[in-house]
Structure 1
């Protein structure tokens, strides 16, 4: 885990109601979709409610991190991939 991921986990783990993932396996799973592209996210958040979404967006904006929405990951053009925070809305 990088220092940036450690800081992100420390900052968000107690304020999110949903799940926060920074582990290598989860990030690898979210690094691809149905396209040929592969971009590993810094973290993955499965928000429980709109408050979680607002918290993540504010956090990312303050730190100039990309936020990418993700559903089932079936996109064919890599649109759900970024090196920032992936928001998993599939749950």
Structure 2
């Protein structure tokens, strides 16, 4: 898991990674402490993250958390937000 700068983000080919847009402080906390399953974080594919970044006005205060999809796959649920596909990170349903 790592933190990326929104202005320099370029979508890679393939779907090995998922991305979460957060404030710089939140992104650093997630990388340092790990991803909390109780908060239901929204992750997007690279292509859909680019659409999110187009609507962010304060890019200097934002960061992108990149995570390998296979590492969090068991805790992801497919969803839609703003009419676009996303993944919600949360506890595994029992």
Q: TM-score, normalised by structure 2?
A: 0.27
Higher helix share: 2
The TM-score normalised by the length of structure 1 is 0.27
Q: Which structure exhibits the higher relative contact order, with contacts defined as CA atoms closer than 8 Å and separated by 6 or more residues?
A: 2
